[in-house]
Amino acid sequence: MKKIERLISIVMILLQKEVVSASEFSQLFHVTRRTIQRDMETLSYAKIPIYAKYGVEGGYALMEEYKFDKRLLNHKDIENILISLAGFEGLITNQEIQTTIQKIRGMTSTDISPNLNLSFYDWVGRRQSKADILFIEQAINNNQLLKFEYVDQIGNITYRVVEPYKLHLSEMHWYLFGYNLERKDYQTFKLTRILNIQKGGYFDA
């Protein structure tokens, strides 16, 4: 995460929480406490009214007059969002998405104990290798070709060279959408049918 994105995130969190410690910010953004201290100094220079609260329950806070109306999202709204995300969080490999979920959690100052609890840990998508998903995601971000063997519904194996464009989760399975250079057509591939995947050369997006 770039510094400017981290600074914006800090302000967003402080708009919703009364006090956040340097340790909490450090763990959330995977940086040192000294980096967080420098971030706070930067925000102060930018005329954002942040101040430090000392003591056991201390941390950083925003001047009350700077905060917006919290009725935009109430506690129940946030609870409903987290319920919806609960089962999917374990399937997500993208660190930025994980950080976004943590920001949403940070928008409430109390522990959430919803009456409805969803769990999807037995999904096929959960059992699939996160390393493979991350491997494909990196190829998408870097505009790299993917080469792999693909098993069709009747067991035939063919060799594919694909420009990868998107990963998506549908009906408990992960899929790759891309352009098949062999067939010169856009196709969707089920990840459980992909074998011996490798990265190839680069392509123009």
Enter the pTM of the model.
0.48
Burial degree of 189 (CB within 10 A; 0-12, 13-18, 19+): buried
The backbone torsions φ and ψ at residue 175, rounded to the nearest 5 degrees and listed phi first, read -130, 150
Let me know the angle formed at the C-alpha of 139 by 137 and 175, rounded to the nearest 5 degrees.
50
User: Do the strands 173-180 and 185-190 form a parallel or antiparallel pair, or are they unpaired?
Assistant: antiparallel
pLDDT of 162 strictly over 90: yes
pLDDT in tens, 150-160: 999 899 999 99
Over the stretch 20-39, which tens digit does the pLDDT of each residue have?
999 999 998 889 999 999 99
Rounded to whole angstroms, how far apart are CA atoms 68 and 62? 11
